[in-house]
Amino acid sequence: MTRARMRHKQTEKRICPCSKQTVGSVTVISPLELIRTKLQSQKQSYRELGACIRTAVESAGWLSLWRGWGPTLLRDVPFSAMYWYNYEKGKAWMCERNNTTEATFAITFLSGAASGAIASIATLPFDVVKTRRQVELGELQALNLSLCKSSSSTWSVMSRIVAESGPRGLFAGFLPRLIKVAPACAIMISTYEFGKAFFHKQNQETRLVRLQPGNS
């Protein structure tokens, strides 16, 4: 019971700071995400992209560079929370099944992949909305529609997608996102846990050597 409570507290300690950090990182990186999405979705030179962004800033102000910030936040904050919660639960379950108190590289890798897959699928609709809103930058201007006047809230874009393509439209790109996110999460967390365990062991050995007689 005590061990379960300790794991629960450890999970909470990871979820809360990660969620706060995600808000900050999303805000800082959002303009770069906008540029990346535009370059991936359309064949544009950097000069054409720069002209598109300048026009957007002139017509809707600097906030136009944070187009898609809302759905990105709705994607990344729940993703972080779900990822860490499911990772800790999955790791604890696999350790219990394998009768071990220390998670092996395989356990952390599989737990990371599974939790990443679950979080990526659950937050995919917001990723689709984010991409749609960022791709629209420039397209609306070409149609002489104002960025401010166009209905671009997260829920209105979701409604448009469902009306056009049905509920399946919210999960467009399901397989590529899964193939990208699950291995990335597995590699990230398994190397992190391996490094943490390795340096912890090194520190313990160094302390033991210093405590031995004749090494003081």
Instruction: State both tokens at 139.
Output: 């397209």
Task: Specify if 137 maps to a domain.
Answer: yes
Angle, CA 137 vertex, CA 159 and CA 181 arms, to 5°: 70
Task: Specify if 152 maps to a domain.
Answer: yes
List helix spans (H) across 42-153: 46-60, 69-97, 105-122, 124-142
Residue 143: CATH number of its domain: 1.50.40.10
Q: In terms of residue numbers, what domain contains 166?
A: 2-211
pLDDT, residue 7, reads 56
For the chain, how many residues are written? 216
Instruction: State both tokens at 73.
Output: 């936040």
The one-digit pLDDT tens for each residue of the chain (216 residues) are 455 555 555 555 566 666 677 888 888 888 888 778 777 777 777 777 777 778 777 766 777 788 888 888 999 999 999 999 999 999 999 999 999 888 999 999 999 999 999 999 999 999 999 988 888 765 655 445 554 545 568 888 899 999 999 999 999 999 999 999 999 999 999 999 999 988 988 888 888 877 777 655
Task: Specify if 216 maps to a domain.
Answer: no
pLDDT, residue 33, reads 82
Angle, CA 188 vertex, CA 186 and CA 191 arms, to 5°: 100
- Whether 119 and 79 have beta carbons less than 8 Å apart is answered as yes
- Whether 71 and 78 have beta carbons less than 8 Å apart is answered as no
Task: Specify if 111 maps to a domain.
Answer: yes
Task: Specify if 171 maps to a domain.
Answer: yes
pLDDT, residue 10, reads 58
pLDDT, residue 167, reads 93
pLDDT, residue 1, reads 45
**Domain count for the chain:** 1
b/e string for 11-26 if b means 16 or more Cβ within 10 A?
beebbeebbeebeeeb
Q: In the 8-state DSSP scheme, what is residue 66?
A: G
Task: Specify if 203 maps to a domain.
Answer: yes
Residue type at position 27:
T
Task: Specify if 38 maps to a domain.
Answer: yes
pTM metric for this prediction: 0.76
